[in-house]
Every structure is written in C-alpha cells, then in structure tokens.
Structure 1
C-alpha cells in the first residue's frame, strides 16, 4: 500500500508540474535565462547578461508591467537600444505570445532588421528555435517580413509604407528610430499614430518607442519623453552617495573625471560606475514610462573616447557637433539663430586673385532648369569642406533648343585656373530634372555620365537622406539620384552660419565683377528659413520661402553640395599630400590625384 501511495503521489506531482502555469518572469529575467547573443550581430556572443548594462533592467521590466501601456526610450547610440527591442520580441514569442509589429523608418530597414538581427536570435536562442518554423519549409508562415509562432505572429513594417502599417490588430507595437520616420505614411498620416490604432482592441496593449533624438521642437521621441515619467539613470557619488544623472557639463577634460553636483568632488569613470544605479522619475506617470540615457552610462564606450569624439566634432563644424549631441548625449539639437542674414554674407565677400583660390581642391557644379534659361553655380571645395563660390552663371534661351545645352556643355568643360597656373575641371555636376524639360535633361546627362554629369530630382520631407541610391530612368536609361533637399538645405544653412574663416564648412564668396555674386544672389541664397509646423498635432520641419524672392541660388548651392557628396573625395587627404603646394615638381602628382577623385 505504501508503494502504491508513493507512486500515486509522484503521479500527481508530475501532473501538477505539467498543468501548472510557468513561473512569472519579467523580460530581463527571461533574457538572462533564454537569450543567446549571436556572433555576427554582437561583439560579446553567448549568454545574455542584463547586469552587463544594468540600466536596461528597468526598461525591460517596464515592458511587462501591467500598469504600463507605453515605454519611451530617448537615448544616445551605444547603449543597447536594439537589444532591448530584441529581448522584448523574444519574451513575447516564447513566454507571452501575442501579435507583434516592429516598425522601422523604411521597408528596406525592416528587411535588414529581420535578416541581420531577428533571424540570428531565433536561430541561436534554444527557447525560440522551435517556435518559428524554417523559412524554407512549405506553409511555414515565415517570410522575411512576417513570421508566425504558436499564439501569435510578428510583422516587420516600414513607416514609409502605409499598406504595411494598416494591417491586422496588433497587441505589441515596437517603433524603432521614430525620429527618422517620415511626417506621413503616404497620405495616411503620422506613422506612429497610424500603427498605434492597431492596438486599441487589446486591454493589455503595449507600445515601445525608441530613438535617438534630432531637432528640438520637431523630435517625436522628445515629445513622447516629455509626456512620460521622464526617468533618468542615476548613480551615487562615490564620496557623498547622492544619486544624480551623469551629465556632460560635469565632465572635466583634463583628467576625464566627473564632478559631483552635490559635494563637488571629482571621480573617475570606474569609481562612478562601481555604484549601484537606479532610475529616478521626474514626473508621476504610471501608464507612460520614459527613460533617457547618454553614452556616459554605457559599458561599451569609455569616457576618454567620448571626450575625444566631442573635440573632433567641435573642430569639424556645426554639422558634426549636431550629430555628436544627438548620438552621444541623446539630446535634441537646438539651432543658434533662426536665419542667416543676407547682409552678413554680402559683407563677407573677398577679392579672388585668380579663377580659383589656392585652397580649392575640387570643383563641383549645380544646374537649375527654368522655362527660359539655365542657371549654374560652380563651387570650389577645400579641406574640412570649406567652400568658395566660383561663378554664378545664367545661360539665357529656351532649353528645348539644342543651342542652350551646347553652351552649358562648353561651360561645364571649362578649365579653371589657380594663380600658379594649375588648372582644374569640374569633378561632378548635378542637374535638376524635376521641373522643366525633363527629357532634355536626361538626354544631356546620359551622354556625359563619363564626366560625372548626373540628373537629380529633389524630394522634400523629414528623414529623407541627402543622397539616395542611384537608379536608371525607364526610357533614356539615365543615371538619376534622388536628393533629400531638406537635409541638404540644413547642411547649407549650418555652413553659412560659420563665422570664422578657415573653420570646417566656412563659405567664401567673391567680390570680383562678373562672378554673379551680387545682392540678388545673396537674397536668393537666404530666401528660405526652417520653421516647425504642426500637422494633425504632429510637429514637422518645413522650409518656407520668403514672398517674392527667387530661391534658385539656394537650390544650386544644394545641388553643388550634392555633387560633392556623390563624388566623395577625401579632401583632407588631398590637402595633406600637397595638392595646394605651389611646386612645379608636384604638378604631375596633383594631376594624378585629381583624376583619381
């Protein structure tokens, strides 16, 4: 009887184990137990350890908190944002199955995420390996952008594709790099709002927004963070033990230490990071928890490296400094001054002693096509992308007639000479094909691609890269580049604001007659300003033109800048090897370098 009783007890214990619910796990606990990092996507492959970056625990566990509906992460690079998303996906696939959608800025980026990040995690984490069937198996429900698993599915979508967002109901929405989303998904409206509507039928819905911020006042992630609990990762001072966030203003460059804002003592990176950190909210908000991080908290980025990168960015000009503020501090960039004044640029003009000043290493050009003329600007570029306006030129005539294009061809083939007699030709030209006489532009450019004369078409809007991938037109087979003109205008304007000659990006203009740089030119160059407007409650950056002012000079400087980015010479290296040295023995070397650009 005793044997039978023991067998019965073991049987019941076995039954209880089989039918009992799994132990309650948070996302960080699941990751520590089940996540494996893949060698092709991680510098530290193997078992996941949340303690490697302890600030991630609070973020991960907020995602599975029943009181929390939205999690916002506004952060720098190098803090593990992508791993937070991957751990969340793994948790919901394995432990809490649900319909999931991950939204990337573009459909191409969604495909890359699926192939390069998600697929290795599914393959290398044993807890996930059997959940999603092999993509090659018949009726697997597994494609590049859609994967099914018991109890749910995951869809990867692009914020630029309204069709991929407006699909089935979704319980868990993961929005990655939201500041790079377009202002509208086609004509459907704000992508974040659009995909969020898919979660309304679920009482336990989750929305995770992650991004490095961009421009103050137009940053989606900053706006979302400001409406959240606004939590900061704080560490105790090694001396007084007062908790505080690690801020850039507390860093001392000489010995790379950080000053306590309470007791004033300086301590090293190792001393600060030895403390046990915690998230401290600035506001009470149980439904929306927001987290801000900068690279000072990262275990993968040393403070001395961050300081070095800051000094390099500061020396590199406004554009590089903006990138550093966004990606290292995880903070929005606020422009100093609203607009460049034309009078300031007119007074800056100087006299050139030759066609091109000695600092010029490369020439590019931009061409705008109007109904009764072509307008051209030739720009010289030097080390640090310092620029010189060389010639602003009009070719009057009907662009439907071959004579106008013959004159343009001769102008673009001209040799421009320096004071020492050394001559240069234009390395690359961009011609706008988006307005008048598109066919004529394509034909002209197709026959001259060997001279790097390319057709371009401008596309406005936030998040569009300055230089898009080259394509071919259907009929003429002409090379065509799509330009993110708003991004280009930001670059041009930031360089015009540089005040000190010789600094990276500084813009020179000639006083010489017949160069085309009169007051009308500068009125056109400063004809637009950037404003923040709200569309259906969503802030977006727009460029607004002054009434009654022509903006061709701004467009042409944009196109000439794009031509430089397309040819992409190493200007600093060209300067180093002596391209500007006035030495006859160097001329052969200079010609070789010029041809090799």
Structure 2
C-alpha cells in the first residue's frame, strides 16, 4: 500500500505537461461583447475554421519560428495576436514583446484593448494585478506577480524600446506601417534580433498589405510557406479544392451580376459558389502551401474578407463597384477588403504622351461641362508663386483649367493683392456661366510665417495652408494645431493648416494619368495649349528603390536632376483642397444639386471670355464682386455652401 501510495506523486512529477493548445485556450477564455462582434459570446472555432491552423502554427508544438499573416482589415487578425500574446503570459509563462507602428499606437492598445482583456480573464487578472507592489502594471510594461512572465509593449518608431531585451515570444503588429528610423535603421530587423538568442522563439508578423513594391508583410509572406485557404466545389460530383480569389469573384460582376448575385465559380467544373454555401465550404476548407519547404522555419498565410462571416459578398461587391476608377478608393479596397497590396506605379506616362493627348482637350481657361467644383493649388518659391486651377466632377475626374505665375516673394506687400486676385477669380464654363474658386490650398513649407500672414486675409473656408509630408503611412490629411517657429516660440494655428500625404497623392495621380480615355472614372483632362514644360514638371518624379548605408532598401520619390516640379506640387495641393471639399465622398444627390446650380446655361449671355479676362499668367482675372461680399456665383451664401459640403 505504501509503495503504491508513493508511486503516484512520483509519476506526476515525471509526467510531461499537457501540450499547449491556443485554440482550446481561446475557447475557455475569450468572450466577445456585443460591442466587439455581432457573434458575441465565447470564441467559437466553428465560425472561423481558418484560424485553427494559424493558432496551431503559433503554438510551441509547431517547429516554425516565424508565422506571417497577410490579411484584410477587420478579419480577426487582432484576435489571433491577442490569443497568442495572452496565452503565452498565462500558459507558456514566457516574456512577450508586442510592437506597434508607433508608441502612441502602443499606448492606445494597452489602455483600450489589452487592459479590458486582461481584467476579463480571471487568472490573468490575478497574475497581473493593478498597482501591485509585487507585479508591474505600467502602460507599456506588465509583469506577473510571480515574475514568471512579462509583456513589453513598444513602438517601432522608438529604437530605445527595442534594445536591451531578449524575448522568446514576439508580435509585430501592423507591420506595413512600420517606417525606417533615420539613425537606427530598419525597426523590423531590430525587433527580430530581440529574439535571435532564443532557439525556440516564436515571432508573429501580422498586417494588412499597403504598397508594392516595398510591403514588409508581403515580403515575409513570400519568404514563408505562402499558404492559401482552399475550399471544395459544392458539387458532390466535382469536389475540386481551390482558393477564393478576387479575380474569380469580380468575373461574376463583370458578367452582369448584381451585388446581391455576386458569386465565385469552381475553376474546374464552372459550378457557381454562392454566399449561402460559404459557411459549409469554408468549414471543409484546408490550408495549401505553395512553398512547403519553408514550413520548418516560416509559415505564412493570406486571408481576405470573402472567407469571413463578418462581411457579406454583396457588401464586397458594392465596395468593388464603388472603387473602380478612383485610384485612392481602389487602394482602400485592395488593402482593406481583398488583403492585397496596391501596385504602385513608379512613374507617370511619358510627358510627350500626355501633351499629345491634350491636343484634343477642352479650351484653356474654360471649365468643361459637368465639372462643378473648382480648387486651386499654389506653390511658393523664392521669387514667385505658381498656381494651377483644377476642376472636379462626380466621377473623380479632374480637368486642368489654367496655370499661372504671380511674381514676387510671398512676404512682399505688392504680391498680396495679386494673390488675392487669383483666389477671387471666376472661370467661364462651357455652358457660358461662371464658377468661382471653392477652395485654395497654398504651400506653407518653406515660408510658413509669410504664407500664414497672407492666408489670414481670407476666410478659412476659402484658403488653407498645406504642407506635404513624405512616407507611405502618412495620414491623407491631418490638421496641424501647433508647432515651433524658427524663433522657438510656439505658434498655434486655427483650423486652416494641414499636412497631407504627398506620396499617396502622387501614386493616385500617376495611376490616373495612365487612363487614356477621358470618359473613364478618375481620368485627368488637359486643355489644348499647355506647353511641354507643364507636362515635364507634372511627371518630374519617380518612386525609386534606394539602398541605405545600413544595406536595407527604402522606397522614396526622387525628382529628375535639374527638373522643376511645381506643376506636380500644385496639382497635389489642388487635390488636397478638393478632398477638403469632399469631392471624392459627396453622394449622388449632392452632385445633382451642385450640377443644377453650377453647370446649367445662364439666363443671360455672359460675353466672351477674352473680353472679360486679361492675361492670366501674370495678372489673374478678377470678375464680379469679391467673395467677401458673402455671395457665391451660384447665389448661395458662404455658410450654406460649406454646410452642403
């Protein structure tokens, strides 16, 4: 009896611990609130069968060191990252490094996402008590009370936070938004080295792809197993397994299907695969690797919205239809819905092609029919201000109306009245009416204080100051509230100074310049009579691969040597003004109203344009009452016009 009694604890001592099962841990511990998911309640693997294998790869039983997930937005990648992180702190008792694109992102995630999750899981709430003397509970550093595990939360923009630590578990979130540091180099390589000393480390790289070439997540996907989720044909006589691909889905729409009828088809037998069959086909799906030789080191997966019950195929179809022809909307669709990178055109078409195309264009100085919004971009140089008037229509098309120059430095008093005249100018429409400038955007980069002083002569609804910022992850438009002046004093700005994503707008423009059909959505129209210098400046920059001193590749826009680029800059500034006027987001009803008010034939003849306007290049036209009288050319008040937009 005593021998048997003694054998039981001995067996327990030598028995191996149960294998760590991340999916089982999620079922026991992850509960979604109604605010988090329409599928609220405990985590249900039957709803997301494609997560099972990814969670297994993230577990310690899979020999791979790196797991990569290239994905659509809002498809559950954050859930996987949270399960990987919190299960490691709970079961694996391992230190974890969680890296976000920026420290601000890291702090928000810690406060708004991590903290509620940890408090909702009893054993983690006990292991990581708030304000404990034994444990750590700082925003960016969490430590178990028993000192068996810790969580370090960092920003990729902070090299110091990625140094002097060695971590067996690591999550690199939103990887495509990570930017190289000017002195420390590539933060991804720096983060990877934090786990180099751990033989059995596990690194989870997850992101929605953004731009290609240059996408970090797609580079990692290609380095790994390149797994796609294959589903069977619903026809029992076929059963062919294949991935759900965007081109397959779009084919049904191009064949005339409505969004509600959008579907895939089996590439083997042609059988339609409809949305009501999705749950069953996905339940029977399996991951298939194109590069299985990488499995022992790096498993990589691609997943997009078509597999997810969180988004209907009809909604995907409507998003695709709405994005066609609009380069900016196309990128959002490819990134967020299809989980694919946007192929960035590194350069515009040859300038000679654009000039030849313009020979059949509209009359210079006249707004083409159907273009109801006018904006102007103004680029400030040392001895002049160059400007470009651009018209916009409901189909995301732009039409150059006129370009010109105001000589003199922006700080000179006699320059200001001539700049005022540009902003107050009105332009003839093909129907014989007149349109005023809706919004002017002037460059505030080199001569910020001087530009600011002039801009304040006008309402913020008429003139804004802008500054282009480089980088693929810059926000499209962001208000500048305050910054240091050269004398060190803090300047506070009213709501009229904005940064904009210069790289993003160049990509949009150059893709749209490829469209030779002037009726195509997003096309750029040019008037006859623009000289070669205009088109050379418009196409002056290229997106090129540069190898830094650290040996790593970066992509940046480079201007051709000795080539001016003012027309490219003013075009981008004019588009910033157009975005502020909501030209890309206004609905059909708003456009109907705008066209009715602005594009119709006026009651009385307007006279010939040349009779009304002097030479435009040096002395811009001033027609009718200045806008400060409170009347729009379409007889709308300034307040009503801005409310409409």
Rounded Cα–Cα distance in structure 2 between residues aligned with 1:77 and 1:110? 18
Q: CA deviation at 1:300?
A: 1.8
Is the 8 Å Cα contact of residues 229 and 303 (structure 2) preserved in structure 1?
Answer: yes
Residue 59 of structure 2 aligns with which residue?
64
Rounded Cα–Cα distance in structure 2 between residues aligned with 1:21 and 1:579? 78
Rounded Cα–Cα distance in structure 2 between residues aligned with 1:80 and 1:505? 33
- RMSD over equivalenced CA pairs, Å: 3.1
Closer/same/farther in 2, CA of residues 481 and 338 from structure 1, 3 Å limit: closer
Q: CA deviation at 1:155?
A: 2.5
1:524 counterpart = 2:522: no
Residue 224 of structure 2 aligns with which residue?
228
Rounded Cα–Cα distance in structure 2 between residues aligned with 1:564 and 1:493? 17
Report the 3-state secondary structure (helix = DSSP H, G, I; strand = E; otherwise coil) of the residue aligned with 1:50: coil
Within the candidate set 495, 498, 504, 1:487 is matched to 504
Residue 247 of structure 2 aligns with which residue?
249
Rounded Cα–Cα distance in structure 1 between residues aligned with 2:506 and 2:312? 34
Residue 568 of structure 1 aligns with which residue?
582
Rounded Cα–Cα distance in structure 1 between residues aligned with 2:440 and 2:95? 49
Closer/same/farther in 2, CA of residues 241 and 179 from structure 1, 3 Å limit: same
1:44 counterpart = 2:44: no
Rounded Cα–Cα distance in structure 2 between residues aligned with 1:21 and 1:39? 39
1:378 counterpart = 2:375: no
Is the 8 Å Cα contact of residues 385 and 571 (structure 1) preserved in structure 2?
Answer: no
Gaps of at least 5 residues in structure 2 are: 604-632
Is the 8 Å Cα contact of residues 379 and 389 (structure 1) preserved in structure 2?
Answer: yes
Is the 8 Å Cα contact of residues 38 and 121 (structure 1) preserved in structure 2?
Answer: no
Is the 8 Å Cα contact of residues 181 and 462 (structure 1) preserved in structure 2?
Answer: no
Once the two structures are superposed, residues 76-133 of structure 1 have per-residue CA deviations (whole angstroms, 9 ceiling, x without a partner) of 2343111110111111121112222222222222223223322221122333222222
Closer/same/farther in 2, CA of residues 582 and 555 from structure 1, 3 Å limit: same
Q: CA deviation at 1:377?
A: 1.6
Report the 3-state secondary structure (helix = DSSP H, G, I; strand = E; otherwise coil) of the residue aligned with 1:154: strand
Once the two structures are superposed, residues 151-181 of structure 1 have per-residue CA deviations (whole angstroms, 9 ceiling, x without a partner) of 2222222222323333522222211121122
Once the two structures are superposed, residues 356-400 of structure 1 have per-residue CA deviations (whole angstroms, 9 ceiling, x without a partner) of 334232222222221211111222222133212122111112334
Report the 3-state secondary structure (helix = DSSP H, G, I; strand = E; otherwise coil) of the residue aligned with 1:384: coil
Residue 546 of structure 1 aligns with which residue?
560
Closer/same/farther in 2, CA of residues 459 and 76 from structure 1, 3 Å limit: same
Q: CA deviation at 1:193?
A: 0.6
Please give the residue correspondences for 1:31-180 in structure 2 after superposition, counting only pairs within 5 Å.
Answer: 31-66=26-61, 67-134=63-130, 141-149=136-144, 150=146, 151-180=148-177
Rounded Cα–Cα distance in structure 2 between residues aligned with 1:41 and 1:15? 46
Report the 3-state secondary structure (helix = DSSP H, G, I; strand = E; otherwise coil) of the residue aligned with 1:95: helix
Once the two structures are superposed, residues 311-364 of structure 1 have per-residue CA deviations (whole angstroms, 9 ceiling, x without a partner) of 2222x4333233322333323333578532222322333233864334232222
Report the 3-state secondary structure (helix = DSSP H, G, I; strand = E; otherwise coil) of the residue aligned with 1:502: coil
Q: CA deviation at 1:72?
A: 0.7
Report the 3-state secondary structure (helix = DSSP H, G, I; strand = E; otherwise coil) of the residue aligned with 1:292: strand
* TM superposition score normalised by structure 2: 0.82
Once the two structures are superposed, residues 489-516 of structure 1 have per-residue CA deviations (whole angstroms, 9 ceiling, x without a partner) of 112212222332233322222226xxxx
Rounded Cα–Cα distance in structure 2 between residues aligned with 1:498 and 1:464? 26
Rounded Cα–Cα distance in structure 1 between residues aligned with 2:437 and 2:244? 49
Gaps of at least 5 residues in structure 1 are: none
Report the 3-state secondary structure (helix = DSSP H, G, I; strand = E; otherwise coil) of the residue aligned with 2:152: strand
Residue 472 of structure 1 aligns with which residue?
482
Once the two structures are superposed, residues 243-273 of structure 1 have per-residue CA deviations (whole angstroms, 9 ceiling, x without a partner) of 3222233333445343223344333344354
1:213 counterpart = 2:209: yes
* TM superposition score normalised by structure 1: 0.89
Rounded Cα–Cα distance in structure 1 between residues aligned with 2:634 and 2:500? 35
Rounded Cα–Cα distance in structure 1 between residues aligned with 2:637 and 2:398? 19
Closer/same/farther in 2, CA of residues 584 and 123 from structure 1, 3 Å limit: farther
